Structure 1
Amino acid sequence: MFLLPLAGLAIYFIYQWIGKSAEKGNSLILEQIQEDGGVVPARMAPLILITTLMTHVFGGSAGREGTAVQMGGSIASMFNGLFKLKAEDRKVMLIAGIAAGFGAVFGTPLTGAVFALEVLTKGRIRYNAFLPGLFAALLADATVDAWTVSHQHYRIDELPLYADEFSRMLHFDFPLALKVMLAAVAFGLASYLFTRLINEIKGLSNRVFKHKWMIPVVGGLVIIALTQFVGKPDYLSLGVDPEYPGAVTLQSAFHLGGSDSWSWLWKTVYTAVTVGTGFKGGEVTPLFYIGATLGNTLSGMMNAPVSLFAALGFIAVFAGATNTPLACTIMGAELFGAEHLVFFALACFIAYLCSGYIGIYGPQASAKGSTYLRRKLSRYFTSQN
């Protein structure tokens, strides 16, 4: 961890000397799809792989979906040049690259295909790209399985029987649904906080530091200082594997007492500093961590099932930050089973509505703010800031 500032410095100069436009990452891929299906540089794939590993190894709090998506988009662009495809087909190929990268890294091919379409929404979804995206995601996931790479597995504990006669008669737990809806509002606000904090750190860093190489160095020093203050390494790197017995991880958040009350906030700060100061990786796995630990905390406050609320936070905070509630609802079914699909949908779409206009992917379309509720919420957030 104490070498993290040097790793940040190395990442900065790697992209300055070699990366060029590849530094824009996911935003570059989305821009190329929305504009003319243009070229994504081939060097993006090896650069993002190497620099993400550097971020993780030295303790930076970042995810891995950004790496997988950028590698998929870069490889897809290489085939665009090889096959000399026309503009519309180049867009479909890039979408398939996103679907393959996302679906394979989490073991959720259907989610990958829907995510690749939904994340690009500009008033409409490109349904003509769904089958290519789905086939690409299925084959990518099968390739990962063929190399015996395993994914994390999560389980929702069996819920108690309905507490009231009305719910029992309709086979739907209305009191629990109300708790889910209230929690979903908190998940959406957590998404907004995460995205806003990253943007503010990026903006502040660019205004304060004349020499841009200083930004990742200072970011690394801040991460070190935070870890010394907190007194434990739980919020470094991915947050998936425990570094010691009793550590707060994604897995532990699904169990009673598996998270501290403010774990979600600490992870938000760690990841915002890491990503906002130029370290490479993704935001999705940290968003899973933030959502699961927040769900764990809310379950205690609401006397609700811990594993269910951890799962709801897992997908709903991600839905709010990426503007992809449909893909995240499907992810809930792929990861946790379809038994609680209605709760997944409630959590993801309410979190989406409550997360403001902004998202972690800059070039996303403006369709997100199309409802009256979203406009009112956005004006409120703007007036408060």
Structure 2
Amino acid sequence: MNLERRCLQIKQNFFEQQNSVIYVARWSFLGITTGVIVGLGVSIFLKLLAWSIAVWSEVWYYYFFLPIILFFVSWLVGLLAPHPGGSNKVIEVLHQPNGKLQLADIPVKIAATIVTIAAGGSAGKEGPAAHIGATLASSWAKMLRLQDADWRKVVTCGLSAGFACVFGTPVAGAVFGVEVLFVGKILYNRLYPAFLAGMVGYYVCYVMGIPYFSLPVRVEPNGYLIVQAIFLGVLCGLISIFFIKTVNWCRQFFAFLPLPAAVKGMVGGGMLILIGYFISPLYLGLGLELLETSITGIFVAPNAFFWKTLATGITLGCGGIGGIITPVIIVGAAAGNLFGQLVGSLNLSVYAVIGLAALLAGAVNTPLAAVIMAAELFGSDVIPYTAISCLISYVISGHRSVYPSQIIFASKRTCLCEDEGKPVGYVGRAAATAASPSKDKLLAGSYLREENTMEIKQ
């Protein structure tokens, strides 16, 4: 009996190891191939965007054309691709058992994003890149005829690779893809293929000649800086709330205007002209000059975070197309730079880096990805202080996010437990719709149960 039992145990161990090897080989193939496909697609998008910005920025007062450009963008998107895009759309689809991404929307969204940003619209390139990556990954999964659970994994790989390709942060990209779907939960069963996809996608973009910004920041061990990191985390948590609310208010303002969508684009373009002409054109477009100024330790205007936030809200609210993560990290860097000025520091770079990561953690609910991103871009010296600020900002921001499709798996604080199982966007309007919460909550709860079942089976 003992011999039989021993043989049965050996047989079971053999099959277990065999299945593990097959699993690793299978997801290595899917992760690598997805990374190659996404890297090629995103690199083409980034090259087109960089060329358009370089050409259009040579035009005298280029942002004066924003009303016409945003009129055209709103009309074109409404006509050919009315479905919402960007990272929030990907998150929404990944919370649906049979959701699909439309490949036909990609050319229109790419063109609209390039035109919006090149003309001076305040938006980022990571949202469209993540959408491109996830959509290409979805098409690849469809070609391979994968089951729904595996299809969602491949789409997550595309999301991670898109993020990694934009910022040149493969590890942060992988963690972002598995952390951004839920508040309070990380899908570890998707981490390995997501990391492979992010790493390969980043390498493909590097070979294609995509430039990436990085700046090693030296930090001497400093107990005083720990205390400052705590206060900076609180500040960034509050500014992340301001950022989220401002963007939402701008969207609501334009939604309530009794005008055609294309005309709303013209109104928003006029507002952006006022900001660019009377305040500064630094707050328009990608805003990378403002980011580099903050990070390199040069003083920025104390109200820079306010104007960049407002310009982003107007751009996305009136119909402009683009991402939101780049504005988030620019606002965070400006906030950190301001904090450094207030405490009288001569090394503003450290505070700008901490602020950049902390605002990302608070506004997007991805503290781990934010810390890793800071480490990949600016070196390991910033990790302890960035981690403190990111976790505090994450808690301070509450159940808010620039991505309303995120689902709250575990509440940030005990007093907010009633929000668990709800999309973040629903929590934001809970007071107005408290009488009928069941539909959204049941849909979210159903998916959570399915996700847990899938992880146990695998």
The 3 A distance-change label for structure 1 pair 38 and 364 is same
Give the structure 2 partner of residue 133 of structure 1.
194
User: How far is the alpha carbon of 1:374 from its aligned partner?
Assistant: 6.5
User: How far is the alpha carbon of 1:280 from its aligned partner?
Assistant: 0.9
Give the structure 1 partner of residue 78 of structure 2.
16
User: How far is the alpha carbon of 1:362 from its aligned partner?
Assistant: 1.3
The 3 A distance-change label for structure 1 pair 266 and 374 is farther
Assess if the C-alpha contact under 8 Å between 2:225 and 2:385 holds in 1: no
1:213 is aligned to 2:274: no
User: How far is the alpha carbon of 1:373 from its aligned partner?
Assistant: 7.0
1:251 is aligned to 2:292: yes
Assess if the C-alpha contact under 8 Å between 1:70 and 1:98 holds in 2: yes
Gaps of 5+ in 1: 160-171, 242-248
User: How far is the alpha carbon of 1:135 from its aligned partner?
Assistant: 0.8
Aligned counterpart for 1:236 among listed residues 284, 288, 299:
284
Give the structure 1 partner of residue 449 of structure 2.
none
Assess if the C-alpha contact under 8 Å between 1:353 and 1:374 holds in 2: no
1:86 is aligned to 2:128: no
Structure with greater helix share of residues: 2
CA deviations 1:50-72 (Å, max 9, x no partner) are 11110111101111110110100
CA deviations 1:165-200 (Å, max 9, x no partner) are xxxxxxx53221011110111111111111111111
Distance 1:59 1:26 in 2: 21
Instruction: Kindly report which structure 2 residues correspond to 1:37-76, keeping only aligned pairs within 5 A, or say none.
Output: 37-76=98-137
TM-score normalised to the size of structure 2? 0.75
Distance 1:204 1:262 in 2: 23
Structure 2 counterpart of 1:312, one-letter code: I
Instruction: Kindly report which structure 2 residues correspond to 1:141-152, keeping only aligned pairs within 5 A, or say none.
Output: 141-152=202-213
Assess if the C-alpha contact under 8 Å between 2:80 and 2:105 holds in 1: no
Distance 2:282 2:415 in 1: 37
User: How far is the alpha carbon of 1:123 from its aligned partner?
Assistant: 5.1
User: How far is the alpha carbon of 1:273 from its aligned partner?
Assistant: 1.0
Distance 2:259 2:304 in 1: 34
Distance 1:124 1:96 in 2: 17
The 3 A distance-change label for structure 1 pair 355 and 55 is same
Assess if the C-alpha contact under 8 Å between 2:217 and 2:381 holds in 1: no
Aligned counterpart for 2:251 among listed residues 190, 196, 202:
202
Instruction: Kindly report which structure 2 residues correspond to 1:211-360, keeping only aligned pairs within 5 A, or say none.
Output: 211-230=260-279, 232-241=280-289, 249-304=290-345, 305-360=347-402
Assess if the C-alpha contact under 8 Å between 2:357 and 2:374 holds in 1: yes
Give the structure 2 partner of residue 7 of structure 1.
69
Structure 1 counterpart of 2:287, one-letter code: G
CA deviations 1:60-87 (Å, max 9, x no partner) are 1111110110100110111122111111
The 3 A distance-change label for structure 1 pair 180 and 8 is same
User: How far is the alpha carbon of 1:258 from its aligned partner?
Assistant: 2.9
SS in 1 for 2:81: helix
User: How far is the alpha carbon of 1:361 from its aligned partner?
Assistant: 0.7
Assess if the C-alpha contact under 8 Å between 2:218 and 2:381 holds in 1: no
User: How far is the alpha carbon of 1:127 from its aligned partner?
Assistant: 1.4
Moved over 4 A (4+): 373-376
Assess if the C-alpha contact under 8 Å between 2:75 and 2:261 holds in 1: no
| Mean Cα deviation higher: 281-290 or 103-112 | 281-290
SS in 2 for 1:220: helix
Equivalenced residue count is 359
TM-score normalised to the size of structure 1? 0.88
Assess if the C-alpha contact under 8 Å between 1:157 and 1:307 holds in 2: no
User: How far is the alpha carbon of 1:43 from its aligned partner?
Assistant: 2.1
* The structure with more radius of gyration: 2
Aligned counterpart for 1:177 among listed residues 217, 220, 226:
226
When the two chains are superposed, the root-mean-square deviation of aligned CA atoms in Å is 2.1
The 3 A distance-change label for structure 1 pair 264 and 124 is closer
Assess if the C-alpha contact under 8 Å between 2:184 and 2:412 holds in 1: no
User: How far is the alpha carbon of 1:25 from its aligned partner?
Assistant: 3.1
The 3 A distance-change label for structure 1 pair 298 and 354 is same
Distance 2:216 2:410 in 1: 31
1:30 is aligned to 2:91: yes
Assess if the C-alpha contact under 8 Å between 2:77 and 2:109 holds in 1: no
The percentage of aligned residue pairs carrying the same residue is 29
Assess if the C-alpha contact under 8 Å between 2:85 and 2:109 holds in 1: no
Distance 1:44 1:124 in 2: 30
Assess if the C-alpha contact under 8 Å between 1:354 and 1:374 holds in 2: no
Structure 2 counterpart of 1:333, one-letter code: A
CA deviations 1:210-242 (Å, max 9, x no partner) are 422222211111001122221x3111101114x
Distance 1:368 1:51 in 2: 36
